[in-house]
Amino acid sequence: MSRILIEGHDIVTVLGGNLIHDHINFTIRENEIYALLGGSGSGKSTLLREMILLQRLQSGQLKVLGYDLNTITPIEAQNLRRQWGVLFQSGALYSSLSVGENIAMLYREYTDLSTKLINELVALKINLVGLPPHARYLYPSELSGGMIKRAALARALALDPKLLFLDEPTSGLDPLSSRQFDALIRQLRDLLGLTVVMVTHDLGTIHHIIDRFALLGDTKVIAEGSLDEVLRIDHPIVDYFFQKGSHGIKS
């Protein structure tokens, strides 16, 4: 069995006096595509923010690549951030920079590479995500929704991360573009040996590319496992979310 890269034990999260996570547990293994699934307000995006050091948990333990995020030092945190890439839901590209400049910014900030080598790496990443070469000169306002996702993905992959975090990666895309983006994520996982963690509500994504996932609801992890494993669990939230026995995914 693959080694565990991310693990949460008894995580408690409180936001604005509201209990979001009540002693939840989960594990994410090397080289898998893992999803955080749940309804609005279930805490899936909050959990992702905790994993990438944008939010602290109230209690419990969260370990990423062997680092305990409760006790991590600033130097360790800087090292850890270089080992992951993040694709935010909106893409979060800098609007005043071209696609190429958005990607190059990471090399200029974190490396001492020459301009020539940076330009070559930018071209490589743009090609890797399926964008045409000229896309490097375009600005975010000139891109379609699908191109924005791919450009942001190229930036997330700039430093050759071990972990890739995706927040609603297919949000705003039409069904065909969503499935194409799913296929790209799976190809990149296989090609680069990535471990992918994504927040999603897209059941198509769950069905087509997810290895395992956690279904969050009522402040708990209702279920964790593969789609087949989760569908065997008798729970109202599982039934509702997957519409078992109706027109959704069948058990």
The three-state (H, E, C) secondary structure of the chain, written as one string: CCCEEEEEEEEEEEECCEEEEEEEEEEEECCCEEEEEECCCCCHHHHHHHHCCCCCCCEEEEEECCEECCCCCHHHHHHHHCCEEEECCCCCCCCCCCHHHHHHHHHHHHCCCCHHHHHHHHHHHHHHCCCCHHHHHCCHHHCCHHHHHHHHHHHHCCCCCCEEEEECCCCCCCHHHHHHHHHHHHHHHHHHCCEEEEECCCHHHHHHCCCEEEEEECCEEEEEECHHHHHCCCCHHHHHHHCCCCCCCCC
pLDDT average, residue stretch 164-193? 89
Looking at residue 91, its amino acid is: G
Let me know: does 27 contact 6? Beta carbons within 8 Å.
Answer: yes
Query: How much is the pTM?
Result: 0.90
Task: Classify residue 128: in a domain, yes or no.
Answer: yes
Predicted confidence band of residue 220 (pLDDT cuts 50, 70, 90): very high
Using CA atoms, how far apart are residues 126 and 104, in angstroms rounded to an integer? 11
- The pLDDT of residue 245 is above 60: no
Q: What is the pLDDT of residue 177?
A: 85
Task: Classify residue 107: in a domain, yes or no.
Answer: yes
Token reading at 236: 């109202």
Residue with tokens 């009540």: 22
Task: Classify residue 111: in a domain, yes or no.
Answer: yes
Least confident of 37-46, 88-97, 149-158, 195-204: 88-97
Cβ atoms within 10 Å, residue 175? 10
- The pLDDT of residue 244 is above 60: no
Note the Cα 21 to chain centre separation in Å: 19
Q: What is the pLDDT of residue 204?
A: 82
Per-residue pLDDT of 51-82, as tens digits, reads 999 999 999 999 999 999 999 999 999 999 99
Residue 2, exposed/middle/buried by CB under 10 A (0-12, 13-18, 19+)?
exposed
- The pLDDT of residue 246 is above 50: no
Task: Classify residue 84: in a domain, yes or no.
Answer: no
Task: Classify residue 248: in a domain, yes or no.
Answer: no
pLDDT average, residue stretch 106-117? 90
Least confident of 3-7, 48-52, 97-101, 178-182: 178-182
Let me know: does 37 contact 206? Beta carbons within 8 Å.
Answer: yes
Measured N-to-C along each axis, helices 115-128 and 99-110 cross at an angle, to the nearest 10 degrees, of 130
Task: Classify residue 123: in a domain, yes or no.
Answer: yes
Supply the range of the domain harboring residue 125.
94-160
Using CA atoms, how far apart are residues 208 and 176, in angstroms rounded to an integer? 13
Task: Classify residue 229: in a domain, yes or no.
Answer: no
Token reading at 46: 């909050």
> For residue 52, which of 198, 158, 193 has the smallest C-alpha distance?
198
The number of distinct structural domains making up the chain is: 1
> For residue 98, which of 145, 155, 146 has the smallest C-alpha distance?
155
Q: What is the pLDDT of residue 161?
A: 94
Task: Classify residue 119: in a domain, yes or no.
Answer: yes
